[in-house]
Chain A
């Protein structure tokens, strides 16, 4: 059985920007280990020279004319935001000491 260390679980959670409570992290550690084990079935499959399939439809990147089109009204978009000032989204200070 693959064991994920507590440190690994915490490192993944940080990469994913997820805060996990202590009991959640413990449960996640056990469950992810079992699932990753299950993924082990993939390891034994011979895939040399097999192209990875990134999409169901082999489509070239479609291009369109570079012409402006109407988009959503700013007020409509901001209505769903948790904090807004002067038509902008408000977030906590990124630079220490900033506002």
Chain B
């Protein structure tokens, strides 16, 4: 089995391996596999090797090493990296080199992690299959005829195929958990505000969160612990202390935990997923938890609410791509034409969401769409609050089914419906994780989703570790 985040960090610290050797090996695997998978949009071997050499020099000099020293990490391309091309999967930012690091990236670097490259994603995070990337598709390492999920599909594929030890993604409506499930890796969307969004290219600001993907719960927890915490540059980042998440990942006993099974999430589940989900439930019972039937009655409204709110916020956030301050610019005779011609460079899905958001926010329609969607968002959040009276945590499928074939979800609504089980968690701002819990008969991974109470990542991680320890899922790498 490929070594993960904690193994590599331990090995580098102990002198059993070097950061340089780990980074070289990572690039060798990228060279061998990524032509087929298309997980990366950009790599920067020179900078990564320089950073690795600095770690190795520090160790040789007896200086203290960070907790992630020498660990090769990839970063989703909608998170800015100083000096390394960042496009958010869009031609609008082709060739743009950010002058600063996102807070989460700076935290990783300060911990000694080595940024090996930028991973493919749906354009500005808008998609569920990575097919809307303006550059190329990413293939699912389990079956190259299928999508890796999205929008953090490049990150999930890279982690699954061991083209990095871990990755940072973003999750606005499931974009970490869903590709993690479809690629058989662990993904965590933290509580809204747990991780600073400074340097995350904004899609829907009231929903976006940065989080980790890795091959084990402990590895993902280790990454989250490093990137979490208050950052004054993001006014929504929370001042709450960051708990000991590594400790939570080690404790695989969940005695006394009441696990709610929201019946709406199991009603239309693909029969191929049922067995894997049952195994996850059995694992938690075996680890000492009790299962409780709960209801989240507004679940069916999550898709329409999300697809009003997120595009509305996107239509405002993406106003900045106007050909003036960064990115591409179209030839134009006047300023209005500069805007409209430049913005013609957005891809179809992004244009569709900007149009939808503009429609919903338009004078005379605001109350019927945007305000109504925000009220429904309140109802969805209240469903969770009511559920916490009878349980400590929820377990549900991450996705309605396994990875689908390219082009199979042909209409926008077909694609939006794939997000049914992940959207509510974002709307309510709750922490959620996806942990692999089995394979379909076609050997496609299935993820179990754990949704916790605000700031209760430790319980989410503890339960995910309990599932991981008992279901015996074997990843690809």
Does B33 lie at the interface of the complex (its beta carbon under 8 Å from any beta carbon of A)? no
CA distance A36 to B362 in the complex (A): 13
- How many contacts between A and B, using CB within 8 angstroms? 174
Does B390 lie at the interface of the complex (its beta carbon under 8 Å from any beta carbon of A)? no
Nearest to B370 among chain A residues (CB) is A52
From 18 to 49 in chain A, residues with beta carbon under 8 angstroms from any chain B beta carbon are 18-21, 24, 28, 31-32, 34-36, 38-43, 45, 47
Of A13, A40, A41, A50, the contact of B355 (CB 8 Å cutoff): A13
Does A91 lie at the interface of the complex (its beta carbon under 8 Å from any beta carbon of B)? yes
Encode A57-78 as 1/0 by CB contact (under 8 A) with B: 1010110100000001100110
Asked if A80 and B325 sit within 8 Å, CB to CB, the answer is yes
Asked if B307 and A39 sit within 8 Å, CB to CB, the answer is yes
**Distance (Å) between the CB of B38 and the closest chain A CB?**
25
Asked if B301 and A41 sit within 8 Å, CB to CB, the answer is yes
Asked if A32 and B97 sit within 8 Å, CB to CB, the answer is no
Range of interface residues on chain B? 35 or more
Q: Which residues of A contact B315 (CB under 8 A)?
A: 16
Q: Which residues of B contact A39 (CB under 8 A)?
A: 304, 307-308, 360, 369, 373
Asked if A82 and B329 sit within 8 Å, CB to CB, the answer is yes
Q: Which residues of A contact B328 (CB under 8 A)?
A: 82
Q: Which residues of B contact A89 (CB under 8 A)?
A: 324-325
Does B76 lie at the interface of the complex (its beta carbon under 8 Å from any beta carbon of A)? no
**Distance (Å) between the CB of A86 and the closest chain B CB?**
16
Encode B309-353 as 1/0 by CB contact (under 8 A) with A: 000000100010011111111001111111111011010100110
Which one of A9, A13, A28, A82 has the greatest number of beta carbons of chain B within 10 Å? A82
**Distance (Å) between the CB of B106 and the closest chain A CB?**
14
Does B407 lie at the interface of the complex (its beta carbon under 8 Å from any beta carbon of A)? no
Asked if A50 and B379 sit within 8 Å, CB to CB, the answer is yes
Q: Which residues of B contact A38 (CB under 8 A)?
A: 303-304, 307, 413
Does B428 lie at the interface of the complex (its beta carbon under 8 Å from any beta carbon of A)? yes
Does B406 lie at the interface of the complex (its beta carbon under 8 Å from any beta carbon of A)? no
Given A35-B356, A39-B307; A76-B322 close (CB under 8 Å): no
**Distance (Å) between the CB of B67 and the closest chain A CB?**
27
Nearest to B194 among chain A residues (CB) is A57
Asked if B300 and A17 sit within 8 Å, CB to CB, the answer is no
12 other A-B residue contacts (CB within 8 Å) besides A57-B238, A59-B193, A94-B335? A31-B352, A42-B372, A47-B372, A52-B378, A53-B381, A56-B193, A59-B236, A62-B235, A80-B97, A80-B98, A80-B326, A93-B335
